[in-house]
Amino acid sequence: MTLLAQPLRLAEAAGALSLATDLAMGQPLEHGLRTAMLALRVAQVMDLGEDDQVTVFYTGLLHFAGCTAESTIDARFFGDEMVARPRMTGVMHGSRRELVATAMRVAHQDSSPLARATAMARSAFGGMAEFRKWARSHCDVARLLGARMGLSEPIQLSLRHLYERWDGNGMPGDLRGAQIPLPIRLMHVAQDADVACQQGGKPLADRVLAERAGAGLDPAVVEVFLALGDKLYAGLDAPSMWDEAMEAEPGARPVVDEHRLDDCLSAIADFADLKSTWTVGHSRAVADLAEDAARAAGLAAGEVSLLRQAALVHDIGRVAVPVSVWAKAGPLTRDERERVRLHAYHSERVLDTVARLRPLARLAGSHGERYDGSGYHRGCRAGDLPLVAWLLATADCYQGMREPRAYRPALSAAQATDVLCQEAEQGKFAPEAVQAVLAAAGQPRRSVSRPAGLSERECEVLSLIARGMATKQVARRLGISPKTCDHHIQSLYSKIGLSTRAGATLFALEHGLVDPDQATRP
């Protein structure tokens, strides 16, 4: 099994990260794509060279690539940063009065007036210094992730100055006017144009750009934007801009070789894990553990590689969940639990957009599933997913227990092993996946009790009769006599308290005992 039928293009890898940044910033999906397209169209009208157009394109895609850095600053100042970020993005290049007024409206919206005032007063103390630190961290992370993905030096340079403003009032405030790289100035105008267009169409976008020209935005770039009229926005209202954006990539269109692929996926993993101080390094650790577990389980090299790559990006959807949820020390509310459950769905949808990453999508999105159907986001059961998926779910769970969380300290290896085995006995994890993960983690293998005290052989028999096989067929498959097979059937019936195949089949389904690899054949 190989991951890619065709090589992954660098633009596709950057595009996947761009979609994740949209989730993290609370923007409509493909905001980054639209920003790149708008900026690129203007760059072409301005007759920029091909190399400069490439820089404009990638800067537009990845202008939020550092947004998970210092997320705690956003959360501390605003409360729910997922509510505040889209509002603040819309006024980033507006007047200081507009910026402050918007911040006052969106900060800690769910708190009482007194609690809001207290929180904002606390945040305001040294607030600008904090946000300058935030801007520098954002730019550093964006640049470093870009370097890891193999982006050029000019692109990395642009990503160092994402929050400067034409009037010099940006963050950290090191550059102003023409000192700011032109790709950044183009991106700023394109970003504001798309945000305003999504809210009120081209008339609002034109008005916003005109008002900000010479203040937050480069007036010469705004002039070109406004002169292009309707044709600048052609196609931006399509259901998806993905294909058009990938086709529009200027220059040589580099591809990601096998060595660089791990770097690209690791960059996406680190972007996701930076969302919370509690999850830094989690995805890489899960990937290492899952890879070793796949080898311990005897999977083929292609499946081992597939599992490692899916494990690296399995948590990309976590960026859509507020920092406050990941950092909550007490029990989650129903709404918070649902938001956590949805992060697996978001991971799957981001990866599914990229045709060459699609083999990873379903696998990555299954990391929260449980063998008995109690997991998320689909509620899959034992027979619904292959062993490679259960290995990922088990590795993710074990590794998570070995890391500290806001609501508990890290468990020791022995404690995590105990919990994992207990949950396997309750039917939540595939026994073979548990054994492989424990072996990969250097823990002694333990026999996992089967439901109702069934033996391993009785489970094998139950799995086959649940598939519709007759007693003689089961006996032939397992290499035992029909009399011995019938003895196993009567014994398992007695243990589960049932006496019909239909009842036994339902029991097998409920407890994850139907092997998906067992075919109904003699």
pTM of the complete model: 0.86
Residue indicated by tokens 């598939």: 467
pLDDT of residue 157: 93
- Claim to verify: residue 359 and residue 383 sit in the same structural domain: yes
- Spatial distance between the Cα atoms of 192 and 205, rounded to a whole number of angstroms: 7
Q: Is residue 446 part of a domain?
A: no
Residues β-bridged to residue 256: 8
Question: CB-based burial of residue 510 (10 Å sphere; 0-12 exposed, 13-18 middle, 19+ buried)?
Answer: middle
pLDDT of residue 14: 97
Residues β-bridged to residue 408: 405
- Claim to verify: residue 384 and residue 263 sit in the same structural domain: yes
Q: Is residue 519 part of a domain?
A: no
pLDDT of residue 28: 95
Cβ neighbour number for residue 236 with a 10 Å cutoff:
18
- Residue pLDDT tens, the chain, 522 long: 345 557 899 999 999 999 999 999 999 999 999 999 999 999 999 999 999 999 999 999 999 999 998 888 888 888 899 999 999 999 999 998 898 888 888 888 777 777 766 666 666 555 667 778 888 999 999 999 999 999 999 999 999 999 999 999 999 889 999 999 999 999 999 999 999 999 999 999 999 999 999 999 999 999 999 999 999 999 999 999 999 999 999 999 999 988 889 999 999 999 999 999 999 999 999 999 999 999 999 999 999 999 999 999 999 999 999 999 999 999 999 999 999 999 999 999 999 999 999 999 999 999 999 998 999 999 998 888 999 999 999 999 999 999 999 999 999 999 999 999 999 988 899 999 999 999 999 998 777 777 888 887 898 899 899 888 999 999 999 899 999 999 999 999 999 998 888 888 888 877 777 765 554 444
Q: Is 6 helix (H, G, I), strand (E, B) or coil?
A: coil
Residue 466 backbone dihedrals phi, psi, to 5 degrees? -65, -25
Cβ neighbour number for residue 169 with a 10 Å cutoff:
15
The DSSP code sequence of 142-156 is HHHHHHHHT--HHHH
| Residues near 454 by beta carbon (within 8 Å), at least 6 away in sequence | 462, 492, 495, 496, 513
Tally of domains within the chain: 3
- Spatial distance between the Cα atoms of 447 and 431, rounded to a whole number of angstroms: 8
pLDDT of residue 196: 97
- Claim to verify: residue 228 and residue 357 sit in the same structural domain: no
Residue ranges making up the domain that contains 422: 256-440
- Claim to verify: residue 362 and residue 267 sit in the same structural domain: yes
- Claim to verify: residue 169 and residue 49 sit in the same structural domain: yes
- Claim to verify: residue 460 and residue 403 sit in the same structural domain: no
Instruction: Report whether 333 contacts 30 (CB < 8 A).
Output: no
Q: Is residue 305 part of a domain?
A: yes
